[in-house]
Each structure stands twice: as structure tokens, then as C-alpha cells.
Amino acid sequence: MLPLGDSITEGCCTAPEGGYRIELFNQAVLAGKNITFVGSLTNGPTTVDNKPFPMRHEGHGGYTISGGGNGGIAGTITDSAISTYHPNIVLLMIGTNDINDNIDVTNAPSRLGTLIDEIITDAPTALVVVSTIIPIAAPNGDQRAQAFNAALPGLVNARASAGKHVILVDNYAAFSKNPNYQTALKADGLHPNTAGYVILGDTFYGAVGALLR
């Protein structure tokens, strides 16, 4: 399983880092199932539920979908990770930095669609789990996040209807159903706190848990 994205995939800004991957792994262990995370980067606790925690991921802090910020995950990062690790499942959560930093926001959904197609081309038999981005606290940031997220069902459904292995998970909805999410689930304007990462891990497990062995 390849966790692919930005600092939220990395697990910033909690201790220990590991983000949603900790709760996702926890739920798999409790269900007697196995997960091996893959990627070129490592962080997280050494053990979860007395089991060795697979620390690998492809979460790049400050990165965008493509271009601007610290760089885009599209292209070399994605291609290299898939060719090296051959994931069965890709967890894709990206776009927060594009939207927060107002980087080519109008074209952000189409750029995400291109990235999804890149992953599908690189790993045609893998399941691509595309996540909405969570609420952003910056002025007008949440309105931009909602507009970006609103385009995602169409992107995913078009590809699923064409027979591609791609599904959508709505982590924005999982966060925003708590009216106090900004204090209860966020470490800052962008990143979840520990409770918030549990929400993300739960949502991702709900999408992939039945597929694990």
C-alpha cells in the first residue's frame, strides 16, 4: 500500500509522526489483517499494537499536485514509487498546498485528473483511493477547498465508469461533520491533530479494509 501525498500523508504535525497510517494499521491489526506500507520515506512509531509498524510512505511536505510549492508529486516521485514498490493499493491525498497557497486553483482538478491517469497507467491493476482534502482555515481557503472537492466525484466516476480501479473517499465530510473540527481535529490551519489523523485512518480503512488479507 503506497500512501502518496503531502505533509498530511507524512503525518505532520504530531508526535510520533505517522499520521493516518497509524490508525489504518491499528484497525488492520485488530481485524487480523496485514498491511505493508511502501515508499521512499520513513517515519512513525516503531510498533503499533505490539506489532512492528511499517514506516514507509511517499508523503512530501509542502508538495503540490504538479508544480509550485516545494514541487509536485506528479511525474518522477509517483513514477519512481510505483516502479520501485509495485503497490496493490495507492492512497492519494493531495491538493491542500495547491488550494491553500492559491496555486493554479482553477486547473487543480484537471491536474489531479492527470495525476490519477498517471497512476493508473503506471499501476493498471492497483486500486487508486482518491481522497478529498480536509478543511483549510486560511481566509477563503475553505471555499476553495470545497470547490476543489466538488470536482472530485466527477473525476473519479468518469474513470471508474471506464473500468479503471479508482474510488473516492470523502475525508472533508468526515472532518466537517464535527462542528468543532477546527479545535477538536486540527493541529493548525492545515494539518490534523492526533484525533484528526484517527478520523482519516478510519475513513481509509473503511475503503480498503475488506480487500486486506
Q: Which amino acid does the sequence have at 86?
A: H
Give this prediction's pTM. 0.97
CB neighbour list of residue 160: distance below 8 Å, 6 or more residues apart: 166, 167
Domain ranges of the chain: 2-211
Rounded to an integer, the average pLDDT of 197-210 is 97
HEC assignment per residue over 82-124: HHHHCCCEEEEECCHHHHHCCCCCCCHHHHHHHHHHHHHHHCC
Distance CA 148, CA 133 (A): 8
Residue 4 vs residue 139, higher pLDDT:
4
Q: Taking residues 154-161, what's their average pLDDT?
A: 98
User: d(Cα 213, Cα 33) in Å, to the nearest integer?
Assistant: 5
Mention the CATH class of domain 2-211: alpha beta
Phi-psi region of 166 (alpha: psi -120 to 50; beta: other; left: phi over 0): beta
Over residues 181-188, mean pLDDT: 94
Query: Is 139's pLDDT higher than 90?
Result: no
